């Protein structure tokens, strides 16, 4: 699925030219107007890029998914409701590999990863190229499990790692764990940070992860005392020239529809994009 956007790929001048050309086939004024209407309807029906336009000055975001099912309608609707953000969507196996390099992603201000993809080929060099040039990246929820054992550098990029293959932190569990439908009390660990600005402690129903590694140099943004989760559940740090944020929350509609989560994601996008 690709969420369309109008970014000058079909200029107004070209649209007018098509209308004028169509109108020449009609002999009187009423027919000319009919030609304009017919062409306009054809344009809307067969050029879906007009379905969602980018507001002037909006932060342009590329959303990358793949490797994990999710409620696409609810997830993308959350982004549609965010003022100041416009987005496009690509998935692994459906265009993400071609977009994740400087030429493919240079038009975007930030990249949001909501994937659980495992194969680092062929995009890993392009991702590192983007990071070296300062492209901000936000990682959500199950992206913590991506590239499990296939790309060692990924844990340093995201600032953490969950694994279903090996133990990544000392403790009773040989692998990272997850649990659905948890009542999570979220503590805002740094209320002065731009990502968490204006937020207070809140409660949410979400999937939790436990026994995952967090880089001790990462700056904690959110914590929880839920015993099915690790203590730190959101953080920020820098990798090369890029700002990075990871947020453990975000499994489904109960998160997408929570005001605090929406605000958190929106402000994280703004911060990583340096807007």
- 3-state SS record for 144-171: HHCCCCCCCHHHHHHCEECCCCCCCCCC
Same domain, 26 and 90: no
Q: What is the pLDDT of residue 105?
A: 98
Q: Residue 238: which pLDDT band, with cuts at 50, 70 and 90? A: very high
Same domain, 43 and 157: no
Query: Is the alpha carbon torsion for 228, 230, 236, 238 positive or negative?
Result: negative
Tokens for 196, please give them.
């968490």
**90-115: average pLDDT:** 98
* 5: pLDDT strictly greater than 90: no
- CATH of residue 181's domain is 3.40.50.880
Q: What is the pLDDT of residue 14?
A: 47
User: How many domains, the chain?
Assistant: 2
Q: What is the pLDDT of residue 104?
A: 97
Strand 85-91 relative to strand 59-66: parallel, antiparallel, unpaired?
A: parallel
Same domain, 84 and 125: yes
Q: Residue 275: which pLDDT band, with cuts at 50, 70 and 90? A: confident
Q: Residue 117: which pLDDT band, with cuts at 50, 70 and 90? A: very high
Residue 25 lies in a domain: yes
Residue 255 lies in a domain: yes
Q: What is the pLDDT of residue 56?
A: 72
Q: What is the pLDDT of residue 76?
A: 98
* 224: pLDDT strictly greater than 60: yes
The burial class, CB within 10 Å (0-12 / 13-18 / 19+), for 245 is buried
Same domain, 134 and 255: yes
Q: Residue 82: which pLDDT band, with cuts at 50, 70 and 90? A: very high
Q: What is the mean pLDDT of the chain?
A: 86
The helix (run of H) or strand (run of E) holding residue 208 is strand 202-210
**26-34: average pLDDT:** 41
Q: 55: how many CB neighbours lie within 10 A of its CB?
A: 10
* 215: pLDDT strictly greater than 60: yes
Q: What is the pLDDT of residue 54?
A: 59
The number of C-alpha atoms within 13 Å of 275 and in the hemisphere containing its C-beta is 19
Residue 3 lies in a domain: no
Q: Which domain holds residue 92?
A: 59-272
Same domain, 223 and 257: yes
Same domain, 103 and 169: yes
Q: What is the pLDDT of residue 48?
A: 34
Same domain, 227 and 164: yes
**195-213: average pLDDT:** 98
Same domain, 122 and 231: yes
Q: What is the pLDDT of residue 180?
A: 97
**135-159: average pLDDT:** 98
Same domain, 219 and 168: yes
Q: Cα–Cα distances in Å, from 150 out to 146, 221, 225, 270?
A: 9, 28, 31, 30
The residues, any chain, with a CB within 8 Å of residue 134's CB and separated by 6 or more, are 240, 241, 242, 274
Same domain, 156 and 26: no
* 12: pLDDT strictly greater than 90: no
Same domain, 63 and 32: no
- Please give the residue that has the higher pLDDT: either 41 or 239: 239
């Amino acid at each position: 699925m690709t969420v369309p956007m109008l970014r000058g790929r079909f200029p107004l001048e070209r649209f007018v030219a098509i209308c004028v050309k169509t109108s020449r086939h009609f002999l009187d004024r009423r027919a000319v107007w009919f030609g304009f209407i017919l062409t306009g309807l054809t344009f809307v029906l067969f050029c879906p890029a007009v379905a969602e336009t980018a507001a002037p000055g909006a932060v342009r975001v590329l959303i990358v998914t793949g490797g994990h099912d999710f409620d696409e309608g609810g997830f993308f609707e959350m982004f549609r409701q965010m003022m100041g953000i416009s987005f496009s969507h690509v998935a692994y196996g459906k265009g993400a590999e071609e977009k994740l390099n400087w030429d493919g992603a240079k038009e975007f201000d930030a990249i949001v990863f909501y994937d659980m993809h495992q194969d680092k080929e062929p995009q890993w060099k392009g991702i590192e190229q983007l990071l070296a040039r300062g492209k901000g990246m936000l990682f959500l929820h199950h992206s913590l499990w991506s590239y499990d054992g296939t790309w060692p550098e990924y844990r340093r990029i995201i600032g953490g790692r969950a694994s279903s293959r090996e133990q990544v932190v000392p403790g009773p569990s040989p692998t990272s764990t997850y649990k659905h439908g948890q009542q999570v009390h979220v503590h805002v660990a740094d209320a002065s940070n731009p990502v968490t600005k204006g937020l207070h402690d809140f409660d949410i129903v979400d999937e939790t992860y436990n026994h995952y590694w967090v880089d001790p140099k990462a700056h904690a943004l959110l914590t929880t005392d839920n015993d099915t989760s690790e203590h730190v559940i959101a953080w920020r740090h820098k990798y090369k020239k890029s700002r990075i944020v990871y947020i453990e929350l975000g499994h489904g509609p109960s998160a997408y529809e929570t005001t605090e989560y929406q605000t958190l994601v929106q402000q994280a996008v703004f911060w990583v994009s340096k807007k």
